[in-house]
Amino acid sequence: MNGVLIIDKSAGMTSHDVVNRVRRIVGQKSVGHLGTLDPMATGVLPLVLGNFTRLAQFYTASPKSYEGVIRFGFATDTYDAEGSPSSTAQAVSLDPEQVHSLAARFRGVIEQTPPPFSAKKVQGVPAYRLARKSKPVSLAPVQVEIKEFEILRVEGDCAAFRARVASGTYMRSVAHDMGQLLGCGAHLQSLRRTAVAEFTLADACTLEQLAAEEVEGRCVHPRKVLPEIPVVTANDEIVARVRSGRTVNLPELSRAPLVKVFYGQRELIAIASRVAGTLFHPKIVLASQALSPVRAT
């Protein structure tokens, strides 16, 4: 089976746990994800099946959207609610105006230090492995972009937020840094990912739903994948050339750097890149076997 599945991940599972569960449900090993989600977090986890795992290269820089809650009053070693307190707890009475003003300082391109419990590598070793052994973790600040960051409400010692960020941004670090700036400590109480690239919660299903229904019916329609890349529906001659990795002439797409090549409405054959003028060469081929007849939609 080739396709894209959007799982609404539950709390407590790693992204790898979800991949393994889906492998058992669909009965195939070729399953991958398009960006990890912390075990504590819930929400959108896009998975690619079969030959569609080759599409992962186009999602390495995908923006992500979140909703969550920051709790002020103490920090934790993991920067979230699953960690141990790393500062003395104190009573906090948040000023909504102050929290809104503070959030504005995190919008745009900023310098951010990743959490010590993260997959960032220190001399080739993931930081979380060092942190678990209580070894010192020194991570350099990196440049990230927070496209949107809005405080939705402030209640007691908690602030609910909505954010849209570039790839590589840690909302755990945002929470931790806000607590440091307020001088009271803070951590990420909860996090729900609502979108990755073009995939949203509206496309998602739980693992329980997936196990109880026809898997193919839960896959995202291939025409919705990578919507920024234009589409060409190829005839038999062009499809044959593309499947064999040969260059094709696509005069109607002379200015597009990339194009999705379809056979019929649902069979995504390849992603082709423009070589020169109207000539395109398959960048990745997703269907190398003989194709089935065009199906009605």
Q: DSSP secondary-structure letter at 214?
A: -
- What CA dihedral angle connects 142, 40, 108 and 176, to 10 degrees? -70
Q: How far apart are CA 48 and CA 19, in angstroms?
A: 10
Number of H helices, E strands in the chain: 7, 16
Q: How far apart are CA 236 and CA 175, in angstroms?
A: 54
To the query of whether residue 38 is one of the catalytic residues in this protein, the response is yes
Q: Are the C-beta atoms of residues 125 and 155 closer than 8 Å to each other?
A: no
Q: Are the C-beta atoms of residues 222 and 270 closer than 8 Å to each other?
A: no
Which of these is catalytic: 8, 38, 80, 157?
Answer: 38
Q: Are the C-beta atoms of residues 11 and 191 closer than 8 Å to each other?
A: no
Longest dimension (CA), the chain: 71
| C-alpha angle 225-54-197 in degrees, rounded to nearest 5 | 35
Which residues 6+ apart lie within 8 Å of 117 measured at CB? 77, 78, 79, 83, 127, 128, 131, 132
- Per DSSP, the three-state class of 291 is coil
Long-range CB pairs of 51-54, under 8 A, 24+ apart, other chains included: 51/2, 51/286, 51/287, 52/2, 52/3, 52/4, 52/268, 52/286, 54/284, 54/286
Residues carrying an active site annotation: 38
